[in-house]
A and B are shown apart, each in its own frame.
Chain A
Amino acid sequence: MLVVEVANGRSLVWGAEAVQALRERLGVGGRTVGALPRGPRQNSRLGLPLLLMPEEARLLAEIGAVTLVSAPRPDPRQHSLALASFKRQQEQGFQEQSTLAAEARESRRQELLEKIAEGRAAKKQKLEQGAADRESPAAGESQAAAESQTSGETPAARTTEMGARPDPAEPEEAAQGSSSPQPGPSNGVAPLPRSALLVQLATARPRPVKARPLDWRVQSPDWPHAGRPAHELRYSIYRDLWERGFFLSAAGKFGGDFLVYPGPGFKLSTTSTSHS
């Protein structure tokens, strides 16, 4: 059972899975009106929220696929709890991200170590060849000694890092790992700088909340459409066409009421707009 919040006569769907269910399973389209996270500065593809026409929302409620609720007001009593849990999650996330970052850094270093070792070996070969020609074995030995020293250090550092890794925590809300550090000189576990923390700007409300169900048969401030003749007329047409299997969407750009498609994802060469 999907839940859709309604405010001021407008129904917005904030979950991507819900949008998928509506479009694929129920044949109700709606329209995306928000910015797309991947490309927020273009208009050809928009993202969540999905705006449902009043007719679409009412149809979904009538067939029982969706519960319409009045958009819940933020509850001041829940606020302190939410704040505390947010702070906790942020700290946890910070720890997690630091560890993950350290791990990533470490694995990077390991990869590079091999490459470094290869490179050094090749270089050593060349030098030795050159040394053999020019008779300077001492330089080659000191180089080898230096290399063995550095390679000796890094495994030690690695073990300390492994020990410091805490258990992975449950999924949380805010601050979590960074993936940007470069493989620098090997130290201990360097704490992640606060500015490198990754933060999720949540699209939908990240915590569950209680809301009152909305009766679409009754007029209310959140649902002013009930009883209006224009709405009733549009709804009857929408319902009829939907039952016949068509896929409808808003037709404001073409001056009609609905655009009628044979199914989602199709385009009609001559748009049939229904005027009511």
Chain B
Amino acid sequence: MEPETESGTVEVPAGRVLSAPELLAARSRPQRLPQRSHGPKDFLPDGSAAQEERLRRCRQELWQLLAEERVERLGSLVAAEWRPVEGFVELKSPAGKFWQTMGFSEQGRQRLHPEEALYLLECGSIQLFHQDLPLSIQEAYQLLLTGDTVTFLQYQVFSHLKRLGYVVRRFQPSSILSPYERQLNLDGSAQHLKDKNSKRKRRSSSSWSTNKKPKAQENPLQGVDGTPENPTTSNPSPCNQNSRCLEEDPQESSLVKGSTGPFRLLGSLEPCPGRAREGLGCNWENGRVENGVRRAGKPRWNFEQICFPNLASDSRHTLLLAPAPELLPANVAGRETDAEDWCHKLNQRKEKLSKQEREQQAEGRDFREDVNLDPEVLCCSGWQEYKELLQRRHLQKTQSRPQHLWDQPVTPLLSPSQANTPATVLQQISVLQTTHLDDGGAWLLEKSGGLEITFDVYQADAVATFRKNNPGKPYARMCISGSDEPVPDLCTLKRLSYQSGDVPLIFALVDHGDISFYSFRDFTLPTDLEH
């Protein structure tokens, strides 16, 4: 039908466009879906007319359903515009009911992520414009689902879950507790603080997100590249500024712009996240488009990346540079200091122990066996004699053991003294240790790349009480992968599982439209109780 033109291109025919009467007719079509099957499912073709008729009717229905176009009243559509550079969709008219669970506010405007916008477009709630031209669903798929925003697979999982009724938000790495906070069980107290501190401006930082980053706005953080520098001299400088970061600072908006100058990173391309997130209620000039979550009262610092100057006696860096002026409150001047003489003044006074402490120290000394006080050792005049003494002692200990057991190349696993109860026996002979999936995950956190957590999923019944600014703990976290990608290795699993914390992690595997969900569960094998 479409001949090839001389330039070797093929014309792709246009999609169906409805005329006015057709639009009118579309409004009066039935709203309910027809029943799925007409009678029991057929297993084998038996050539009967009835089966033929059934199949034909099924097929007719399917074609009719597929051919229907979306027709909506202009007044019920929310106008939205796709911004390719920034990677989000901006709403031009006020949002509807979907605003409760989708979208984010930035600079006073209502915005949607590309996957949310596409889902709403498919539902017929919004009209998406690009350069003043409304986008068809096909064009929207093409433009919005590029590699650096949301991939096609991720969108498939997103829309699948949304259609089931879940609330799906982008993964919030800032809601992950750092290992230290987890140790302190800080989330319990933070909840309490949150309610009180909603008005106070506290700067919040985030542990570094390796999430999809839209194409560069001037992200001031990413502009600061680690220029190779002498580590000893530059060590104090970021640290000092970071330590200043901990103070509450009203001049937050200027912070971001000023951070490029005196800010130096050491060898790592990840900027100090202390500067990363602007404070609450101020402008989000961040290039990274997150959900705009305000974390009131819960400062988030990635302590692995904040380095404090080491003023201890082992490796002293006492030259502290002047802090950046924009970090300090007004009328406070910072200057550079040499902390050398201050350090000398430390630990000058003799520590006066209380009587109890002195007794404890003495006791400890008594229990410690000093090898030199052993009379037999004193007789030894050299190392050789000492080693012979040790060997003699060892032989004495082992003399009681039957030789036919213990002198063979293969020795028993237990000595009689070790086998008190079945439990200890099992413990001794166990080859496998109990381990949890997120063991050792803390030190894997800095590795990135490969599979990442994509979405936070909240349950459908929480919709009525769902607050975007304070969503709470998600029901599950989702990692998405295609069936032709390799199975994630243990390193990735540990890292992701640790990142997810106490929220279950689910892996969604997409195979040509089929989505399967997998998760790993920790379980412990029963052990014998001591009798």
Contact of A267 among B15, B43, B133, B513 (CB under 8 A): B43
Q: Hey, which chain A residues are within 8 Å of B156, CB to CB?
A: 33
Find residues 202-247 in chain A having any chain B CB closer than 8 Å to their own CB: 202-213, 230
**Are B33 and A38 within 8 A (Cβ)?**
yes
**Are B12 and A199 within 8 A (Cβ)?**
no
**Are A250 and B8 within 8 A (Cβ)?**
no
- A189-205: contact bitstring with B at CB < 8 Å (1 yes, 0 no)? 00001111111111111
Most buried by B among A47, A49, A177, A204: A204
**Are A203 and B69 within 8 A (Cβ)?**
yes
Find residues 486-531 in chain B having any chain A CB closer than 8 Å to their own CB: 509-514, 516
- B417-452: contact bitstring with A at CB < 8 Å (1 yes, 0 no)? 000000000000000000000000000000000000
> B53 CB to closest chain A CB, in angstroms?
12
In the complex, whether B22 has a CB less than 8 A from a CB of chain A is yes
| With contact pairs A47-B65, A72-B12 given, residues A171 and B18 touching in the complex (Cβ less than 8 Å) | yes
CA distance A266 to B283 in the complex (A): 58
Contact of A252 among B23, B58, B123, B509 (CB under 8 A): B509
CA distance A208 to B59 in the complex (A): 28
Find residues 169-183 in chain A having any chain B CB closer than 8 Å to their own CB: 169-180
A79-87, A115-123, A125-133, A145-153 - interface stretch: A79-87
Which residue of B is nearest A265, CB measured?
B55
**Are A38 and B68 within 8 A (Cβ)?**
yes
Most buried by A among B72, B165, B483: B72
**Are B512 and A41 within 8 A (Cβ)?**
no
Q: Hey, which chain A residues are within 8 Å of B381, CB to CB?
A: none
CA distance A5 to B5 in the complex (A): 18
| With contact pairs A10-B152, A171-B22, A250-B512 given, residues A207 and B14 touching in the complex (Cβ less than 8 Å) | yes
Which residue of A is nearest B74, CB measured?
A197
> B116 CB to closest chain A CB, in angstroms?
13
| With contact pairs A31-B513, A34-B122, A100-B21 given, residues A265 and B14 touching in the complex (Cβ less than 8 Å) | no
**Are B10 and A97 within 8 A (Cβ)?**
no
- A24-66: contact bitstring with B at CB < 8 Å (1 yes, 0 no)? 1000000111111111111111111101010000000000000
Most buried by A among B36, B127, B511: B511
**Are A67 and B75 within 8 A (Cβ)?**
no
Which residue of B is nearest A40, CB measured?
B123
Q: Hey, which chain B residues are within 8 Å of A44, CB to CB?
A: 36
Contact of B42 among A23, A82, A266 (CB under 8 A): A266
| With contact pairs A37-B69, A173-B17 given, residues A82 and B122 touching in the complex (Cβ less than 8 Å) | no
B138-146, B339-347, B361-369 - interface stretch: B138-146
**Are A178 and B17 within 8 A (Cβ)?**
no
In the complex, whether B389 has a CB less than 8 A from a CB of chain A is no
Contact of B23 among A7, A71, A198 (CB under 8 A): A198
- A8-27: contact bitstring with B at CB < 8 Å (1 yes, 0 no)? 10101011110110011000
| With contact pairs A45-B33, A69-B12, A252-B516 given, residues A93 and B20 touching in the complex (Cβ less than 8 Å) | yes
CA distance A7 to B20 in the complex (A): 33
**Are A213 and B2 within 8 A (Cβ)?**
no
**Are B10 and A34 within 8 A (Cβ)?**
no
CA distance A41 to B124 in the complex (A): 11
In the complex, whether A74 has a CB less than 8 A from a CB of chain B is yes
In the complex, whether A276 has a CB less than 8 A from a CB of chain B is no
Which residue of A is nearest B162, CB measured?
A41
CA distance A45 to B36 in the complex (A): 9
Which residue of B is nearest A201, CB measured?
B70
| With contact pairs A43-B160, A43-B163, A250-B512 given, residues A202 and B74 touching in the complex (Cβ less than 8 Å) | no
**Are A96 and B20 within 8 A (Cβ)?**
yes
Most buried by A among B26, B28, B509: B26
CA distance A20 to B124 in the complex (A): 24
Q: Hey, which chain A residues are within 8 Å of B67, CB to CB?
A: 16-17
Q: Hey, which chain A residues are within 8 Å of B395, CB to CB?
A: none
> B77 CB to closest chain A CB, in angstroms?
6
Q: Hey, which chain A residues are within 8 Å of B17, CB to CB?
A: 171-173, 200, 202, 206
Contact of B141 among A12, A72, A207, A267 (CB under 8 A): A12
CA distance A65 to B362 in the complex (A): 94
Find residues 29-83 in chain B having any chain A CB closer than 8 Å to their own CB: 29, 31, 33, 36, 41-45, 55, 58-59, 63, 65-77
CA distance A32 to B67 in the complex (A): 13
Most buried by B among A24, A46, A194, A199: A199
Q: Hey, which chain A residues are within 8 Å of B29, CB to CB?
A: 38
**Are B514 and A252 within 8 A (Cβ)?**
yes
**Are A266 and B43 within 8 A (Cβ)?**
yes
| With contact pairs A74-B139, A205-B139, A213-B8 given, residues A100 and B20 touching in the complex (Cβ less than 8 Å) | yes
In the complex, whether A156 has a CB less than 8 A from a CB of chain B is no
**Are B20 and A205 within 8 A (Cβ)?**
no
CA distance A17 to B66 in the complex (A): 9
CA distance A20 to B58 in the complex (A): 12
In the complex, whether A253 has a CB less than 8 A from a CB of chain B is yes
Contact of A83 among B22, B77, B132, B137 (CB under 8 A): B132
In the complex, whether A138 has a CB less than 8 A from a CB of chain B is no
> B147 CB to closest chain A CB, in angstroms?
8
- Where the two chains meet, the residues of A that have a C-beta atom closer than 8 Å to any C-beta of B are 1, 3, 5, 7-8, 10, 12, 14-17, 19-20, 23-24, 31-49, 51, 53, 67, 69, 71-72, 74, 79, 82-83, 86, 93, 96-97, 100, 104, 168-180, 193-213, 230, 250-253, 262-269
Given A12-B141, A32-B66, A74-B143, 4 further pairs, Cβ under 8 A: A20-B63, A38-B29, A213-B4, A265-B55
- Where the two chains meet, the residues of B that have a C-beta atom closer than 8 Å to any C-beta of A are 1-2, 4-5, 7-24, 26-29, 31, 33, 36, 41-45, 55, 58-59, 63, 65-77, 119, 121-124, 127, 130-134, 136-139, 141-143, 147, 152, 156, 159-160, 162-165, 483-484, 509-514, 516
Query: 8 nearest interchain CB pairs?
Result: A204-B15, A252-B511, A195-B75, A171-B19, A250-B512, A252-B514, A35-B122, A176-B20
